[in-house]
Structure 1
């Protein structure tokens, strides 16, 4: 039970560009939201 409590209290992951909360997915290592990633691809 203690290990589950640890994961429940972790802070939400935020985009390092704009601060928007990123919905984490299994095995996702993204540090930017989709909107900011799209901005980089357009350049």
Structure 2
């Protein structure tokens, strides 16, 4: 159980990620491999 707790703490403490194109802070993708925000990738909200 301690190992799981350590992994969860690691992900909780990751710094905010910024878009590599415009520099805007990306809110919900701290743990993913993407490096561009939705706007720069041309994704619009419905």
Question: Shorter-normalised TM-score: what interval?
Answer: 0.5 to 0.7
- The structure carrying a bigger helix percent of its residues is 1
Which runs of 5 or more structure 1 residues have no equivalent in the other structure?
39-43
Alignment TM-score, normalising by the size of structure 1: 0.54
How many positions carry a matched residue from both structures? 37
Q: Which residue of 1 aligns with 2:10?
A: 6
Q: CA deviation at 1:30?
A: 2.2
Q: 1: CA distance between counterparts of 2:39 and 2:11?
A: 27
Higher strand share: 2
The alignment yields a C-alpha RMSD, in angstroms, of 2.4
Q: Name structure 2 gaps, 5 residues minimum.
A: none
What's the TM-score, normalizing by structure 2? 0.53
Superposition misfits of 4+ residues, deviation over 2 angstroms: none
Query: Does the residue aligned with 1:10 lie in a helix, a strand or coil?
Result: coil
